[in-house]
Amino acid sequence: MNIAEAARKLGVDPAALCPASAEPRFTEVWERMQQEPPCSACGRPSRTSSAVRDPVHGPRWLDRCQDCFLATPPTLRRPLSQAITDIREAAAEVHQRAVLHTDEDGWQDEPRG
């Protein structure tokens, strides 16, 4: 889900969030995460921050703790199967073996003991 959907699912009012840059750079996001602001939904220390773009209030910081982040996973830009293929191909190019674990089809490439 995208950031706006995550805010809605968590019941966060954008008006209550701190203003953010329109397009926060990685350094801004990292600085905010280092401050560990309270989770926008539950108040526990946050583990991730991102900007939600609200049409009325403009860009605002959505900070999420681990549980709230896991309850609102981001949408992948490509299907998981394609991402896994890309990782395997990149590993093969540098002559490394990629050991990937996924719950989509069960444990993948797990060494047998």
13 and 65 fall within a common domain = yes
- pLDDT, residue 13, reads 93
Q: What is the pLDDT along the chain (113 residues), one digit of tens a residue?
A: 888 999 999 999 999 999 999 889 999 999 999 999 999 999 999 999 999 999 999 999 999 999 999 999 887 777 878 888 898 999 999 999 888 776 655 545 544 44
Same domain flag for 96 and 43? no
Torsion sign across C-alpha atoms 70, 106, 94, 75: negative
Question: Would the pTM of this model clear 0.85, i.e. be above it?
Answer: no
Domain count across the chain: 2
**Same-domain status, 67 and 81:** no
Predicted local confidence at residue 97, as pLDDT: 87
Say whether both 56 and 88 belong to one domain.
no
Q: Can you give the pLDDT at residue 48?
A: 93
Amino acid at 92: A
Domain hosting 33: range is 3-71
> What is the C-alpha end-to-end distance of the chain, expressed in Å?
37
